[in-house]
Amino acid sequence: MATKKQTREPVRDITERIKTFEDALKETGRPDVPEFTDAPEDIREYLRAQYKATVIAEALNEGWKADWHNSDQYKYFPWFYVSPSFFVFHGTDYHYSGPNAGSASRLCFRTSALAKYAGSQFLSIWKDLIMK
């Protein structure tokens, strides 16, 4: 008896799979954004944006974690232009062993392309994180 050959769907690139925050939640298995009701009300929106950015970075990095003891490993961050009239993605930068002030290890990316994608695809979340 002939057996039916199973074909597997090719695994899509992470930037094709993660287009929304909801996609990142699904990819990581993380729960939805906490309300942070125990935090002071004036910083809750920032904490929600921090959570979202962290989940997005975790999803896009596909399990990669920065090794801050490895000075040969680049760690990439999205950069933005901020002014009273606009907020736009500017580019990416990297660091060898430690973050600059204002950058966080959970928010770095394993490649410049991923940092660029995160900064442009999720611009409103980064804006909330930086501006709130």
pLDDT tens track for 69-105? 898 999 999 998 888 888 888 877 665 544 444 456 7
pLDDT of 92: 77
pTM confidence score: 0.82
pLDDT band for position 38 (cuts 50, 70, 90): very high
pLDDT for 13: 95
Distance CA 11, CA 19 (A): 15
pLDDT of 2 reads 55
* Alpha helices per DSSP H over 1-132: 14-17, 21-28, 44-61, 112-121, 123-131
Query: Given pLDDT bands bounded at 50, 70 and 90, which one contains residue 110?
Result: very high
**What pLDDT is attached to residue 93?**
66
d(CA 43, CA 73): 33
Q: Determine the pLDDT at residue 89.
A: 86
The answer to whether 91 and 117 are in contact (CB under 8 A) is: no
pLDDT at 121: 98
Encode pLDDT of 47-67 as tens digits.
Answer: 999 999 999 999 999 999 999
